[in-house]
Amino acid sequence: MQIQILPSLLAADFGRLADDIVRAEASGADALHIDVMDAHFVPNLSFGPDVVALSRKVAPGFYRHVHLMMTRPDLYLEPFANAGAQTIQIHVEADCDIHAELKRIRGMGLRAGLVLNPETPSDAVFPYMKECDEILVMTVHPGYGGQSFIAECLPKVTAIRRRADALGRAGFDIMVDGGVNGETGPQAAAAGANQLVAGSYLFKQSDMAAAVRALRADCGRSVASAK
Ligand code: DX5
Ligand code: ZN
């Protein structure tokens, strides 16, 4: 399974967002992870659809992966889809009909992702695995970049990987987000994650491309030695 690396725009320089989107694309990363926060589901505000549209404008070929940390993501699916989101992720803890909203995201021709917070058990997402294209296991409490990786979340990655295999979905996308760096990324890959979101670790690099290549390679080796 290919390891994919997604820089999180939350760690970009907000005074130079367009430049940092272009920089992330030029690094050879697989997609741009855009964190949307509503100051209700999490105690912070971040981006709206205009930032998704900006990334489509300045880097049209760079896949746009939108993580909605919102209590009512159902009210905002269309604006984000119209702005160019290609994957939309909603939280299983959100206050909406998860089955219906995953279906609606797919119905718009997008990939549907489901996210679970550190305190949410893996079996909370099991009922939805047929209706989503990927699961994101948060490895920090959502709301802010730059926090430390919560390694206790990794058994959930392994449990979800086993469940996906049992459902006959080999290669199912499982992602981790929060505190990912050169040390924790390979741990997540060994646990069964194939997509890694990394914000502060990647954006602080003077050579983001080298860091993306190294992280991908280290994760690949970690998967091989875990087998
Ligand atoms: C946290 C966000 C993350 C965040 C990760 O609420 O969902 O995507 O940007 O940032 P780092 O990699 O700095 O922990
Ligand atoms: Zn995120």
| Ligand 1 close to Cβ of residue 67 (< 6 A) | yes
Task: Please give the model's pTM, rounded to 2 decimal places.
Answer: 0.98
The model's pLDDT over 137-193, given as tens digits with 9 standing for 90+, comes to 999 999 999 999 999 999 999 999 999 999 999 999 999 999 999 999 999 999 999
From ligand 1's centre to the CA of 145, what distance in Å?
A: 4
pLDDT tens, residue by residue, 13-50: 999 999 999 999 999 999 999 999 999 999 999 999 99
**Beta carbon of 48 within 6 Å of any ligand 1 atom:** no
Instruction: Check if 186 has its Cβ closer than 6 Å to any atom of ligand 1.
Output: no
**What would the two tokens of residue 82 be?**
């119209």
